[in-house]
Amino acid sequence: MQIGVIGIGYVGLSNAVILSLNHNVVAVDISAEKVQAVNDKKSPIVDCDIQEYLEKKPLHLVATDKIADACASAEYVLIATPTNYDEKTNFFDTSSVEKVIKEIRNINKDCVIVIKSTVPVGFTKEIIEKTNDEKIIFSPEFLREGKALYDNLYPSRIIVGVDKDNAEMVKKAQIFANTMAESAKAENIPVLVMNTTEAEAVKLFANTYLALRVSYFNELDTYAEIHGLNAREIIEGVGLDSRIGNHYNNPSFGYGGYCLPKDTKQLLANYKNVPENLIRAIVESNRTRKDFIAQRILQKAGFPKNSAAVVGVFRLTMKSNSDNFRQSSIQGVMERLKNHGVKVVIYEPTLKAEQFNGYQVINDFEKFSSVSTVIVANRVEKELLPVLDKVYTRDLYQRD
């Protein structure tokens, strides 16, 4: 098949790579650097599997900045452009998805458009009705950043949302699901075909559950820290119940990354006129956690008594082995520290500039650690071992 993919980010690139094992894929982005990188077989994102597949596998993949090249003869076109949360409207900004749908239709009236971007619950149905265009389906993406291709090679499930009353489109949705499954390495992957609105809800409820779990163990950890208790022992004891499990339970400075903060807020917005307590609490819990972490850091730094205290932030990323710090929780903590008037400096080797959002970047680790009164690390890495007495972290398991 001819397949177009719009957006060469985590979602678009991993889907383009896997589909291009068996099909001709043209991937489009407005970023000339990303297009060039893919054509040079260099992954524009840190993902060892994507890099390996680009270099070593016989992929039928071309990148371009011309959307017509991707759509003109395509049977399926995937949209994987951003849907950032708009704090003014309290909803996702879906303008890039809507714009791309129009552009695709100006070129190709027949292809099936597959929305992979995360959208508000009800978005696809609305756009089908508004544009009278029945050939749009929604397929939620469940990848983790840094493991984007791996998670498509071994997907937990493939879900396709389609108007189930439209038999022809259900067939096309099934073909898309089978195409994804055939390219994967895992076998017997659960495939669910449902209406578009349910499929959109699956995505937001799944991410909100993950945020809930992070918040739960963070609040457990806050309790333990305030009462001087051993959080690790409590978490282990709690998790031995197989219904709870000893996984995805490592305390942190809050949930973060591109998706969890915005997807929880979007789900809360979708709850308008629906009774709830929990969804709002998950969003608020993350703020409370960052407030608490900032307070603990100030205490450890002896601020404000020690007005010359410097807080050194070790990495802006959420996880080790990542180059991505979109919406990382440490940035929320830094903002709170700045509002208290304490000096903050950053150690982040993936940054080349000397400043980041007005904070000084010190990538010479010796210098960074010697100027810092306290070093804060969401995740501990081995460089920190010689200066552990200065480190403030809640990382118990060096994972997640």
Ligand X SMILES: NC(=O)c1ccc[n+]([C@@H]2O[C@H](COP(=O)([O-])OP(=O)(O)OC[C@H]3O[C@@H](n4cnc5c(N)ncnc54)[C@H](O)[C@@H]3O)[C@@H](O)[C@H]2O)c1
Residue of 360, 345, 344, 342 lying closest to 305 (CA atoms): 342
> 63-102: which residues touch ligand X (CB under 6 A)?
80-83, 96, 99-100
Q: Which residues of 260-279 are buried (b: 16+ CB within 10 A; e: fewer)?
A: bbbbbbbbbbbeeeeeeeeb
Instruction: Give the nearer residue to ligand X in terms of CB position, either 83 or 179.
Output: 83
**155 contacts ligand X (rule: CB under 6 A):** no
Long-range contact set of residues 227-232: C-beta below 8 Å, sequence gap at least 24: 231/394, 231/396, 232/396
CA 84 to chain centre: 11
Alpha helices in 77-153 (DSSP H): 95-107, 123-131, 148-153
**258 contacts ligand X (rule: CB under 6 A):** yes
Q: Of 145, 200, 348, 395, which lies in the binding site for ligand X, with binding defined by CB under 6 A?
A: 145
**34 contacts ligand X (rule: CB under 6 A):** yes
The CA–CA distances, whole Å, from 291 to 137, 303, 340, 366 equal 41, 15, 11, 29
CB of 144 to ligand X, least distance (A): 6
CB of 89 to ligand X, least distance (A): 16
Q: Of 3, 5, 6, 293, which lies in the binding site for ligand X, with binding defined by CB under 6 A?
A: 6
**260 contacts ligand X (rule: CB under 6 A):** no
Q: Which residues have a catalytic role annotated?
A: 259
Strand order in the sheet with 343-347: 355-356, 359-361, 343-347, 310-314, 374-376, 391-392
Instruction: Give the nearer residue to ligand X in terms of CB position, either 122 or 302.
Output: 122
Cβ atoms of residues 334 and 359 within 8 Å: yes
**141 contacts ligand X (rule: CB under 6 A):** yes
CB of 345 to ligand X, least distance (A): 28
Instruction: Give the nearer residue to ligand X in terms of CB position, either 29 or 221.
Output: 29
**38 contacts ligand X (rule: CB under 6 A):** no
**10 contacts ligand X (rule: CB under 6 A):** yes
Tokens 């980041």 -> residue: 356
Instruction: Give the nearer residue to ligand X in terms of CB position, either 107 or 231.
Output: 107
Instruction: Give the nearer residue to ligand X in terms of CB position, either 30 or 186.
Output: 30
Q: Of 4, 7, 155, 312, which lies in the binding site for ligand X, with binding defined by CB under 6 A?
A: 7
CB of 195 to ligand X, least distance (A): 19
Q: Of 18, 35, 143, 158, which lies in the binding site for ligand X, with binding defined by CB under 6 A?
A: 143
Query: Checking phi first, is residue 189 left (phi over 0); if not, alpha (psi -120 to 50) or beta?
Result: beta
Long-range contact set of residues 129-135: C-beta below 8 Å, sequence gap at least 24: 131/101, 131/105, 133/101, 133/105, 134/163, 134/166, 134/169, 135/110, 135/111, 135/169, 135/172
* CA 27 – CA 7 distance, rounded (Å): 7
Instruction: Give the nearer residue to ligand X in terms of CB position, either 259 or 337.
Output: 259
Shortest Cβ contact with ligand X: which residue?
9
Tell me the DSSP string of 366-396: HHHHHH-SEEE-SS--GGGGGGGGGEE---S
**117 contacts ligand X (rule: CB under 6 A):** yes
User: By rule CB under 6 A, what count of residues binds ligand X?
Assistant: 27
Residue range at the interface with ligand X (CB under 6 A); choices 26-34, 167-175, 182-190, 219-227: 26-34
CB of 127 to ligand X, least distance (A): 15
On the CB side of 172, CA atoms within 13 Å amount to 22
Residue range at the interface with ligand X (CB under 6 A); choices 56-64, 138-146, 311-319, 386-394: 138-146
Site residues, ligand X (CB under 6 A): 6-12, 28-31, 34, 80-83, 96, 99-100, 116-118, 141, 143, 145, 258-259
